[in-house]
Structure 1
Amino acid sequence: MKSKQRITLLLAALLIITSFQFQANTLSNNNSDPEKDKVLIYILRNILTRSHFVVKDMNDDFSEHVYEEFINGLDPNKRYFTQKDIKEFSKYKYLIDNQLLSEDVSFYNLVYTRFSEKIKNAKSYYGDLLAQPFDYKKKEIIDVDYEKVPFAKNENELIDYWRKQMKLSTLIRIQDKTEKQKLNAQKDKKYKKKSFSELEKEARTEVLKNMDELYLRIEELEHEDWFSTFLNSVVSAFDPHTTYMAPRTKERFDQDMSGKLEGIGARLQKKGIYTHVFELVSGGPAWKQGDLESGDIILEVAQGDEEPLDIVGMRLDDAIKFIKGKKGTEVRLTVKKKMDGSNKIISIIRDVVELEETFVKSSIVEKEGKKYAIIDLPKFYINFDDQNYRDSAKDMEKEIERLKEEGVTGLIVDLRNNGGGSLKTAIEISGLFIEKGPVVQIKYRGEDPIVKKDIDPKMQWDGAVVVLVNEFSASASEIFAAAMQDYKRAIIIGGNQTYGKGTVQSVLPINQFTKYNKDLGALKMTIQKFYRINGGSTQIEGVYSDIAIPSRYSYMKFGERDLDGALAWNKVKQVNYVQTNSYSNFTDVIYNSKQRISADPKFKLINKYAKWLKENQDDTTYSLNIDEFFKENDEQEKASKKFKSVFDYKSNLEFVSPKYELDLYKTDPSLKDKRIAWHKNLSKDVYVSEALNVLSELKLSNKNEIVKN
């Protein structure tokens, strides 16, 4: 049965069931929240068990997942619950599955009620602790990897957990204020330094202010916010990309999908009490500035030189209000870096995110008397509602045609940081580089794989191709890269492997499953899985580069493989396809590049830097003795200076715009400035330089030779 028919029948069946079961209750209970909660659980349970890609039994393992996820979602920093609480909660550890089958929320009610009580105690904990100076000479440490830290044995140990966390926050501010004093004193000889006791008191006052603001925001959260945390604990048992979106969250999602960008050009999402950077918009201010990255956590937001505002615990739509702002104004973000867990202040000048920067663009470079081009493809974009609107496949075809007219002999397709997009355009763009044939397989639950093919026999580009990827290349990017690799049409160069997201999600408004008259939000659910034409899934594994180049992410926990509960890699049957056998020296070129990379001092330094970042990521302890704390920071600063020049690089290559863009400069002067900046960055990009080395060595073989698979 086709998926659309199956979903339609499921909709009809559930609509009848939920109408019959809940309509009378809805009228008699006046749409009370408890009834709404039961409706949500009933519908979500049925949708997931019937239509999620994975057949998942609601058993003890499932119950244990929900139990741990919900408790950790409410108390990620071990600030509220004690082992006594956990012991009481544990009676439900293997019963939640049975409760969900009868729309029973006893576990949720117990944990949430206890959590609410603990929140009330929190103000007295941190208020008393911050009322006087800490003992900064005491020899003690704190481990901020809270997943490894056990829950406090009792209330006394819980208060000590609080003490250490408040002390660490204060030490960080003291250290920051001390550094600023040093800089001010160097600039102004008459600058009067404050005493340690003055700085210490200021630091505690700031921490207290931030904590008060945090708990004001927590008190503003409604039942819907906390119950959403519980529901996400339930749906995440199926896979990490399946999420429940409450009505407000769904509204923000719709705005985001329609192209509304948030001030700095970053898409944000809420995880627990933290605001995470989900994706940077190509061409946006954050993307251009270069320091903010996907996976970073935004802790504080400051407007220019004003005092920073702590946004931990703040609703996402409220946090966005502080991050957004007028073009030309400065926002300073204090972020916890995904790479190494360090805190960093990032200054970004707000600007309008111009759509033009998210489209295909190219640059031409001459090397050893031959012309080559790099095509930047930021995402696989399309507008299904407007057939006349630009899409990435049409733009790519047009761009290649223009480059051919200028005598370009080789192409680099740059997919770095391309998080995916339209499957349709990924298939069509793959078809530009092969005559015709299968490109990808997609599979629904319980069905045979469907082979998606390029049916156009025209090959838009038959010259040499190199595909440049990194650890952020995901989804549709991996489909294209995998197809080029399986056909041996291109050499894949970049990080060790791409992100590894081989699943597809569909957003289902929950109200379409019931006549219940309150807005129930939506479910984003995994419904498909991608497979290469060689049979292997792109899930978890992604695409391994033919030539792996060291990067800052080389040793980091990163990608789909590091997500808890990610769907496993597996294989389906290989389809029949014919390799292009495009190159006579394919293996030699790969070998030569690997030799260059292993001997290059620049790549050796990048590799050392990546190892250092990994060490920092693994070291999650801090000394709370002020002398040792300052010493650790100094050592960290000295170590980081060794890698200050790690990405300093300048080639002698000159990148220029294709001729058709020169006419556009006359009507859009800002385009010229943007391209000059991009070309300058390309000349300083060591990865682009090596990709050009590879491209220049590739020799095309006799086009009539083919290898059958």
Structure 2
Amino acid sequence: MIAKTPLLALLLTAPLALLARADNAPMVAPTAVETPVTVARASGSKPAVLPSGPTADQATAAKLVYGLLSDSRYAYRPQPLDDALSADIYKRYLEALDGGKQFFTAADIAGFDRYKTRLDDAIKSGKLEPGYAIFALYRQRVNERIRHARGLLKQDIFDFSGDEQFHYDRKKAPWAEDTAELDELWKQSVRNDWLRLKLAGKESKDIAKTLDKRYANLADNVAQLEGQDVFQTFLNSYTNAIDPHTSYFTPRSAENFNLSMSLSLEGIGAVLQKQDDIVAIREIVPGGPADKSGVLAPGDRVVAVGQGTSGNMEDVIGWRIDNVVEKIRGPKDSKVRLDVVPASAGLDSEPVRVVITRDKVRLEDQAAKSKVLEIPGIGDAPAKHVGVIELPGFYQDFEGRRLNNGDYASATRDVAKLLVDMKKQGVDGVVLDLRNNGGGSLNEAIELTGLFIDQGPVVQVRESGGRVTVNGDDEPGVAWDGPLAVLVNRGSASASEIFAGAIQDYGRGLVIGENTFGKGTVQNLVDLDRWPGGEEERFGQVKLTVAQFFLPGGSSTQNKGVVPDIQFPASVDATEYGESTYDNALPWTRIAAVPHKVYGDFSHILGTLDKLHTARVANNLEFQWWREDVARFREESAKTTISLNEAERRRERDASEARRKKRQETREELGLALDPLALISADDGLTANERDIVQDAAREKAAEDRPDPLLQESAAILADAIHLLANDRKLSALVLPISTRAGHWAD
């Protein structure tokens, strides 16, 4: 049906999304939105009682946020909170609630317009009743729409022989004139949901049952939203009006954000997912308490939670997933009791009681990983072995570092260990894969760069008053002085851009891939509880933009991003994703360069490398298939409608299935690595919480083993560069004038 509303995507994020406290640790905030967790229907559960306004603590928090964002001593680009900004906040709040324009009518919006220039006064005074009033009607309209959608399932509207179109992209559409227009919109949406399930082979009776539950779940998602959720959404409409990367976190969401940065938490070591009105185990974290105890398995359902070894067990059926997580998570060495219905048993079976001792859990699946690729040699030259390090984020346990905890999580420390292992394996070069790495700790970006350069500036940071501070690597020596390439894409942002841009400015390695995101601002986490001075966490935190960063050469990555030396076709257009899509993003600019070594100048070989790359990928089926898929994806992304004609949709589906099957057969014929997902239907018509958890988790793991032609080609490009420089001493001296310090490219 119509896509999940922006409010739900914002608020119902995976509570195990994992981030330790960082009062004012400098960071380059991740741009990626956390993966939403759908909260399913709670049988017989009551909707959360929403207040008409904020609590006293929330009113104080609103005033504190106003003080931060309007003061140039804190905010990089402070803005007066006036009627003009109020109108922008109003627009963003409506987008957060109903960005798809599927619940409110034009008449509703006209009724809200009286608040348009009053939200500034509401925030300054802490009297946020307008935001709660708008939300109250939103919840009412959701219930009305869901009742209508569930009623449609009983009507005879599922003939798909006509030529109707479902207009699913309504971001630029006007608000519906009345409920009759919304009725028609939802009718087409429900029909599309039905058709997807029908094409996936489901019978009418099962389709009706699945969709009825899905729509009921959506209503309960909104019913379970609490006052703190409304407050956070409203206040973020204000913070996001200042700039795209300034955000407000309630105390609970601040804890989760900090946990995700530290890659560690204290709990049982299980990834949870809501399925229907039960919280189930999706994955067991290797090495965690649940894994070591062996008492839990993926698919097991948690129906009650108790603290310690005795006492009350709380029934958690129908609870929000973050509330369940809060009960299960707890201090190291404490015990938690769980009543669990095993995955193999019916839900009405007698639950099994298990006791687990909590411990500190390291989230290794989100940490740096490595592997070695073998690249065939050119002509008679021997094959090259290229090490690959995949780094999904610039994580750091800020609290562990502050306390000088010897084993605190650190992206740089993990990469350094992997480089030691690669040296032992005798790799010829290293590719650092930063695709979809949305950023993280600024310190980690600086220190990681220091693994590859021998002292020098890494980033220039300009504060709001104009003062520029140069931060760099002060440690002598390097962890890797050999050939290096950095693989990036449009999802590489922030800290990834600092690292890639610095490597490029130094001429230390090749940058390969797509233009990066273009986020060139620095955020600090500001704890609002520091001012009132209380011991409790009452007011939350603000991720506040405090500076803009510039590369050693003086260029900002803001808006423009880092332009690779060797470019792959763009998988996402810059008008669809990236910093340039934000209407209030800072513009690109530059400042003076700072002195730094230039280890190499790859411009002398880029033309040759590009020709070798072009010739090789012309005969690389996986790369060509990827290019075809990108073109097809971009073509589909440009559409705003989809056909509701079954024959047409079936032809499209059959063509897609045949294409995947043919590719797999070709892989088998040519002895290529098989795609573990090739024969799985691209669209089963289900949402995440409707699938079998164990099978879905297995499919997610299998996706990690899919052929990766971009990574393979990046390693091949690096191998080409090594070969060129090793076989032409004059060229090597031209490209690497400081080769004895830049690394042994020509050995």
When normalised by structure 2's length, the TM-score is 0.66
Deviation by residue 1:126-161 (Cα, 9 ceiling, x = unmatched) = 343222221525542221112133221112222222
Query: How far apart, in 1, do the equivalents of 2:516 and 2:490 lie?
Result: 5
Q: How far off its partner does 1:428 sit?
A: 3.2
Aligned match of 2:364: 355
Identify which of 526, 544, 566 aligns with 2:545. 526
2:243 and 2:585 in contact (8 A); partners too: yes
Aligned match of 2:204: 200
1:470 and 1:497 in contact (8 A); partners too: yes
Aligned match of 2:515: 497
Identify which of 379, 384, 387 aligns with 1:374. 387
Q: How far off its partner does 1:71 sit?
A: 1.4
Is residue 73 of structure 2 the alignment partner of residue 73 of structure 1?
A: no
Is residue 227 of structure 2 the alignment partner of residue 227 of structure 1?
A: no
Deviation by residue 1:461-499 (Cα, 9 ceiling, x = unmatched) = 4443322333333322222211111121211112x2123
Query: How far apart, in 1, do the equivalents of 2:710 and 2:586 lie?
Result: 40
Change (3 A) 1:551 1:85: closer
Is residue 322 of structure 2 the alignment partner of residue 317 of structure 1?
A: yes
Q: How far off its partner does 1:120 sit?
A: 4.5
Change (3 A) 1:355 1:684: closer
Query: How far apart, in 1, do the equivalents of 2:300 and 2:608 lie?
Result: 50
Is residue 705 of structure 2 the alignment partner of residue 692 of structure 1?
A: no
Identify which of 615, 625, 635 aligns with 1:596. 615
Aligned match of 1:514: 532
Q: How far off its partner does 1:526 sit?
A: 2.0
Query: How far apart, in 1, do the equivalents of 2:605 and 2:456 lie?
Result: 22
Change (3 A) 1:593 1:122: same
Query: How far apart, in 2, do the equivalents of 1:320 and 1:138 lie?
Result: 47
Say which is worse superposed, 421-430 or 146-155, in terms of deviation.
Answer: 421-430
1:583 and 1:701 in contact (8 A); partners too: no
Per the alignment, in what secondary structure is the counterpart of residue 56 of structure 1?
coil
> How many percent identity over aligned positions?
28
Is residue 137 of structure 2 the alignment partner of residue 114 of structure 1?
A: yes
1:437 and 1:453 in contact (8 A); partners too: yes
2:24 and 2:526 in contact (8 A); partners too: no
Per the alignment, in what secondary structure is the counterpart of residue 236 of structure 1?
helix
Structure that is richer in helix per residue? 1
Change (3 A) 1:608 1:304: farther
Change (3 A) 1:81 1:544: same
Identify which of 59, 77, 93 aligns with 1:54. 77
Query: How far apart, in 1, do the equivalents of 2:422 and 2:25 lie?
Result: 45
Identify which of 210, 216, 219 aligns with 1:215. 219
Per the alignment, in what secondary structure is the counterpart of residue 685 of structure 1?
helix
Q: How far off its partner does 1:84 sit?
A: 1.1
2:483 and 2:718 in contact (8 A); partners too: no
Q: Which runs of 5+ in 1 are unaligned?
A: 8-29, 179-198, 270-279, 285-301, 306-312, 331-351, 653-673
The aligned amino acid for 1:532 is L
Per the alignment, in what secondary structure is the counterpart of residue 237 of structure 1?
helix
1:242 and 1:524 in contact (8 A); partners too: yes
Aligned match of 1:607: 627
Change (3 A) 1:630 1:555: farther
Q: Which runs of 5+ in 2 are unaligned?
A: 1-22, 27-50, 275-282, 288-297, 302-317, 330-337, 345-360, 674-700, 727-731, 740-747
Q: How far off its partner does 1:641 sit?
A: 6.2
1:470 and 1:498 in contact (8 A); partners too: yes
1:442 and 1:451 in contact (8 A); partners too: yes
Deviation by residue 1:227-264 (Cα, 9 ceiling, x = unmatched) = 22211111111222222222332333344344348999
Identify which of 190, 193, 199 aligns with 1:175. 199
Aligned match of 1:19: none
1:247 and 1:521 in contact (8 A); partners too: yes
Write out aligned runs for 1:364-513 (5 A).
365=374, 367=377, 368-369=381-382, 372-378=385-391, 379-383=393-397, 384=401, 385-386=403-404, 388-389=406-407, 391-394=410-413, 396-397=415-416, 400=419, 403=422, 408-494=427-513, 496-513=514-531
Deviation by residue 1:660-686 (Cα, 9 ceiling, x = unmatched) = xxxxxxxxxxxxxx9xx9899799934
Q: How far off its partner does 1:76 sit?
A: 3.0
Per the alignment, in what secondary structure is the counterpart of residue 237 of structure 2?
helix
Q: How far off its partner does 1:548 sit?
A: 0.7
The aligned amino acid for 1:617 is S
CA RMSD of aligned residues (A): 4.6
Identify which of 220, 237, 244 aligns with 2:241. 237
1:214 and 1:314 in contact (8 A); partners too: no
The aligned amino acid for 1:86 is I
Say which is worse superposed, 96-105 or 470-479, in terms of deviation.
Answer: 96-105
Per the alignment, in what secondary structure is the counterpart of residue 70 of structure 2?
helix
**Structure showing greater relative contact order (alpha-carbon pairs closer than 8 Å, 6 or more residues apart):** 2
1:471 and 1:553 in contact (8 A); partners too: yes
Say which is worse superposed, 434-443 or 558-567, in terms of deviation.
Answer: 558-567
Query: How far apart, in 2, do the equivalents of 1:222 and 1:442 lie?
Result: 39
Deviation by residue 1:294-338 (Cα, 9 ceiling, x = unmatched) = xxxxxxxx9599xxxxxxx995626989xx999x989xxxxxxxx
Q: How far off its partner does 1:82 sit?
A: 1.0
